[in-house]
């Protein structure tokens, strides 16, 4: 019986979570996990009740903002932010958890993850934000780029 490893399992779930995104540039999913249990999920998109970017058009494209820069010039929230918010809304303690993400966190998300007590980051794709990984390292947060095993 071929069962995925825990990392493979959680990374597969991040891809499913990302499929809910309405971002026109990059579909990102994140899940917060502790003791092999999913605590919260998030995908990138606009706040609840706001018109989605696939309807309004991408503000970042309209303003010609390069990827990895000027994160405040976006109508949406990042997947990691939405996962943290979901946990907070439901009273879930994420201290000591690991975040699994389709993409490595940006600097804003890294700062939030540090202060939320997240102790590990596993991501599939890199992101053009070196300061983010430097801050995670300085905070003592273990991060690793997930590599799919050849057997999976």
Q: Which of 8, 15, 69, 80 is catalytic?
A: 80
Count other C-beta atoms under 10 Å from residue 85's C-beta.
16
Query: Does the annotation flag 109 for ligand binding?
Result: yes
Using an 8 Å Cβ cutoff, are 104 and 126 in contact?
A: yes
Q: In what order do the strands lie in the sheet with 120-125?
A: 37-43, 29-34, 98-103, 120-125, 142-145
Residue with tokens 């502790």: 34
Clarify whether 69 is annotated catalytic.
no
Q: Which residues are annotated as a binding site?
A: 78, 106, 109
Catalytic residues: 80
Feature table: binding site for Zn(2+)? 78, 106, 109
């Amino acid at each position: 019986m071929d069962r995925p490893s825990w990392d493979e399992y959680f990374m597969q779930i991040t891809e499913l979570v990302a499929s809910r995104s309405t971002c026109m540039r990059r579909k990102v999913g994140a899940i917060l996990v502790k003791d092999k249990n999913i605590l919260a999920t998030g995908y990138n998109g606009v706040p609840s009740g706001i018109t989605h970017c696939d309807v309004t058009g991408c503000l970042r494209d309209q303003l010609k903002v390069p990827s990895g820069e000027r994160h405040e010039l976006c109508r949406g929230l990042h997947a990691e932010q939405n996962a943290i918010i979901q946990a907070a809304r439901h009273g879930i303690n994420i201290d000591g958890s690991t975040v699994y993400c389709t993409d490595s966190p940006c600097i804003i998300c890294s700062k939030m993850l540090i202060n939320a007590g997240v102790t590990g980051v596993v991501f599939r794709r890199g992101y053009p934000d070196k300061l983010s990984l430097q801050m995670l390292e300085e905070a003592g947060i273990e991060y690793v780029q997930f590599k799919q095993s050849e057997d999976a």
